[in-house]
Amino acid sequence: MTNALLDQTLAAAKAENRAALIGYLPAGFPTVAGAAQAVQALIDGGADVVEIGLPHSDPVLDGATIQTADDIALRGGVRTKDVLETIRTVTAANPTVPVLCMTYWNPVDRYGQARFAADLAAAGGAGCILPDLPVEEADEWLAAAAEQGLATVFVVAPSSRDERLAVITAKGTGFVYAAAVMGVTGTRAQVGDMAEDLVARTRATTELPVCVGLGVSNAVQAAEVAAFADGVIVGSAFVQRILDASSPEAGYAAVRELTAELAQGVRKR
């Protein structure tokens, strides 16, 4: 079972012979009330798909930028119900934009897998990205997500061997998240050479779109990745724009501007 809106959106980008642009921002950032506006700036700037992060106390896969945003969100009192509310606000205003929740596993486990799937679907969410839930531990979640029409996006890494890629892509839906480098989130001067090889090896196992994240922060990099991937995922660069801004409004404007540049980038393959 998958999510029709997500599948259609990625297929539409492919039909335009371009990569999709997928933007990430955490809920609760810069404030609980302001997060939906920040995500709206991504959409207004031209993101095809958005990921809304569920801030976590122990973000072991995130670099300093997203750690800082998660800290701000948690100190601001963000709760799981606020994350779902932000998703609801965004999907209500943008019914044609697929919204995924990206979250570490323990908050979902604590909330209850079936309950989380139901509440995410009720909020209009298209699915989940679960970076620390390996496929071997995912059966209960996959069943709950399928029942609610949610996609489950798994992450693959340059270290994933071919036989394992096949196992992962057989269970995933929506798209495959290919990590461009071995490392945590954050902007990088260069997107790794390993990404193209990983995308090719992943494609050999699945018809799912393969989208690349980790390290992409500008239009030139987005175009590079768009040359070989179905989608380009950007997160830390948006967070950094908001952190650097003199006011929340200036931050949203900066996010909108960067998204527009990246949207140009993914069209130059």
Looking at residues 147 to 176 of the shown chain, list those that interact with another protein (rule: CB under 8 A): 154-161, 164, 168
Active-site residue identified among 48, 62, 82, 230: 62
Residue of 75, 93, 110, 115 interacting with another protein (CB under 8 A) = 110
Residue of 8, 96, 137, 140 interacting with another protein (CB under 8 A) = 137
Q: Annotated catalytic, 51?
A: yes
What stretch of H or E contains 239?
A: helix 236-244
113 touches another protein by CB under 8 A: no
The answer to whether 213 and 241 have CB atoms below 8 angstroms apart is no
Which amino acid belongs to residue 261?
Answer: E
105 touches another protein by CB under 8 A: yes
Active-site residue identified among 7, 48, 51, 82: 51
182 touches another protein by CB under 8 A: yes
Q: Are strands 151-153 and 127-129 parallel, antiparallel or unpaired?
A: parallel
Q: Annotated catalytic, 62?
A: yes
Q: Which is nearer to another protein, 134 or 248 (CB)?
A: 134
Q: Which is nearer to another protein, 46 or 134 (CB)?
A: 134
Q: Which is nearer to another protein, 137 or 147 (CB)?
A: 137
Q: How far is CA 236 from the centre of its chain?
A: 11
Neighbours of 245 (CB within 10 A): 16
Q: What CA–CA distance (Å, rounded) separates 80 from 125? A: 14
CB of 240 to another protein, least distance (A): 17
Tokens 């979250």 sit on residue: 103
Burial of 185 (0-12, 13-18, 19+ CB in 10 A): buried
Tokens 């967070």 sit on residue: 239
Using CB under 8 A, which of the segments 74-82, 117-125, 139-147, 242-250 binds another protein?
Answer: 74-82
Residue of 24, 111, 238, 252 interacting with another protein (CB under 8 A) = 111
The answer to whether 73 and 26 have CB atoms below 8 angstroms apart is yes
- Catalytic residue IDs: 51, 62
